[in-house]
Structure 1
Amino acid sequence: MMFLRALALLFLALPATAQTSDIGFGRGNFDNSAPVEVAADNLEVDQATGRAVLTGNVVIAQGDLRLSARQVTVDYTTTGGNRSIERLNASGEVLIVAGDDAAEGQEAVYTLGSSDILLTGNVVVTQAGNTLAGDRLTVNLNSGAGVVTGRVRTTLQP
Structure 2
Amino acid sequence: MPRMLSRFLVFLTLLAGPAMAQTATVGFGGGGHDASAPVEVASDTLEVDQSNGRAVLTGNVVIVQGELRLAANQVVVDYATANGDRRIERLNASGDVLIVAGADAAEGQEAVYTLGSSDIVLTGDVVVTQQGNTLAGDRLLVNLDSGAGTVTGRVRTTLQP
TM-score, length-scaled by structure 1: 0.95
- Per-residue deviation at 1:125? 0.3
Conserved in 2, the CA contact under 8 Å of 1:32 and 1:113?
no
Match of 1:12 in 2: 13
Match of 1:25 in 2: 28
TM-score, length-scaled by structure 2: 0.93
- Per-residue deviation at 1:113? 1.0
Q: Which whole-Å CA distance do the structure 2 matches of 1:47 and 1:16 have between them? A: 50
- The percent identity for this pair of structures is 72
Q: Which whole-Å CA distance do the structure 1 matches of 2:46 and 2:134 have between them? A: 34
Question: What is the SS of the residue equivalent to 2:16?
Answer: helix
Q: Would you say how many aligned residue pairs link Structure 1 and Structure 2? A: 158
- Per-residue deviation at 1:17? 4.2
1:76-155, aligned counterparts within 5 Å? 76-155=79-158
Q: Which whole-Å CA distance do the structure 2 matches of 1:129 and 1:151 have between them? A: 20
Q: Is 1:55–2:55 an aligned residue pair?
A: no
After superposing the two structures, state which structure 1 stretch, 14-23 or 112-121, moved more.
Answer: 14-23
Letter of the 1:141 partner, please give it: L
Question: What is the SS of the residue equivalent to 2:17?
Answer: helix
Conserved in 2, the CA contact under 8 Å of 1:57 and 1:68?
yes
For residues 54-73 of structure 1, give each alpha carbon's deviation from its aligned partner in whole angstroms, at most 9, with x where no partner exists: 00000001110000000000
Q: Which runs of 4+ in 1 moved over 6 A?
A: none
Unpaired segments ≥5 residues, structure 1: none
- Per-residue deviation at 1:6? 4.6
Letter of the 1:85 partner, please give it: I
Unpaired segments ≥5 residues, structure 2: none
Q: Which whole-Å CA distance do the structure 2 matches of 1:70 and 1:3 have between them? A: 49
